[in-house]
Amino acid sequence: LVLSPICLEKILNYLLDLENGVRTAEVSTEHLVMGAPRYCSRGTHGPSNKSKRRRIITVVQRQAANVRERKRMFSLNEAFDELRRKVPTFAYEKRLSRIETLRLAIIYISFMTDLLENT
């Protein structure tokens, strides 16, 4: 890994600021790692004002997060569909919502538990 003198200076200044408890406005490490997360700050800096730093997410990271979220939602929807098939309902009823499915499943499990305990 080869760092330019300017980049080294920025890193050293950032580390010194961290050591002294001062937050810098922006740390740019894009020359080091392609697509590395960066931070930007809002507000003024100083000993009494702590600034909030917001993470800037790259396009690739956002796309990867979107794919993960789509997979998660697909899996969740499949689980609810399977639960809907297991819980008895009338054929003419509309498709149950998630909360209706969970509530009906709780009632059904309670009913089946009582049925097993009483026999």
Residues of the chain with CATH 4.10.280.10: 61-117
So what's the pLDDT on residue 99? 94
Dist. CA 37–CA 68, nearest whole Å: 18
Identify the CATH class of 61-117: few secondary structures
Per-residue pLDDT tens over the stretch 70-107: 999 999 999 999 999 999 888 777 889 999 999 999 99
Residue 52: pLDDT band by 50, 70, 90 thresholds?
A: confident
Cα dihedral 88, 93, 95, 101 sign: negative
Please say if the pLDDT value at position 64 is more than 80.
yes
Please say if the pLDDT value at position 112 is more than 60.
yes
So what's the pLDDT on residue 39? 47
Cβ-count burial 17-37 (b if 16+ within 10 Å, e if not):
eeeeeebbeebeeeeeeeeee
pTM above 0.75, yes or no: no
**For the chain, how long is the longest CA-to-CA vector?**
81
